[in-house]
């Protein structure tokens, strides 16, 4: 019995002049047909992260980004969810480089602000902040 190989789709960003690519693997032809990335690529609408969420991409002209999560009390416990979103659920545990937070450890309404900040080397003659 041979192993199934599946289907790989190479997506190229449709933003003018962008050459970013990504590969998506689908195990079955059904997944391939239903796959969002594959459908976007076929329609010429797939965008790389840089063009899907440009405000979240760190750059010299965008050296800091922040993401705020709010602790909410739901029927099944406390959860973190993105501020301003009324989606059902969330995550009881969030983590990233340098932090870990269990929602049950904090009262509802607690805000968790996650910030990433670039600190570029000083330009000659410019003081480093």
Supply the mean pLDDT for the chain.
87
CB 92 within 8 A of CB 78: yes
How far apart, in whole angstroms, are the C-alpha atoms of residue 10 and residue 22? 6
| pLDDT value of position 16 | 95
Q: What is the DSSP letter of 75?
A: T
pLDDT at 70 over 90: yes
Write down the pLDDT at residue 126: 59
Tell me which residue has tokens 């192993």.
3
Residue 43 has pLDDT above 90, yes or no: no
pLDDT at 24 over 80: yes
Q: How confident is the model at residue 128 (pLDDT cuts 50, 70, 90)?
A: low
**Where do the domains of the chain lie?**
7-52, 58-117
- Please give the structure tokens belonging to residue 103: 């929602």
Least confident of 38-52, 66-80, 91-105: 38-52
pLDDT of residue 124 exceeding 70: no
Q: Which pLDDT score is estimated for 17?
A: 96
Structure pTM?
Answer: 0.67
Query: What sign does the CA torsion over 80, 81, 83, 84 have?
Result: negative
Q: What percent of the chain has pLDDT over 90?
A: 59
């Amino acid at each position: 019995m041979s192993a199934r190989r599946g289907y790989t789709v190479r997506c190229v960003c449709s933003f003018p002049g962008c050459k970013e690519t990504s590969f998506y693997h689908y195990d079955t032809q059904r997944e391939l047909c239903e796959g969002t990335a594959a459908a976007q690529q076929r329609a010429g609408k797939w965008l790389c992260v840089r063009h899907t969420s440009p405000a979240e991409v760190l750059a010299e002209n965008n050296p800091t980004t922040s993401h705020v999560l709010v602790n909410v009390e739901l029927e099944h416990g406390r959860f973190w969810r993105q501020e301003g979103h009324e989606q059902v659920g969330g995550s009881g545990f969030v983590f990233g480089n340098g932090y870990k937070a269990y929602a049950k450890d904090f009262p509802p309404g607690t805000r968790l602000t996650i910030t990433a900040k670039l600190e570029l080397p000083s330009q000659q003659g410019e003081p480093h902040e």
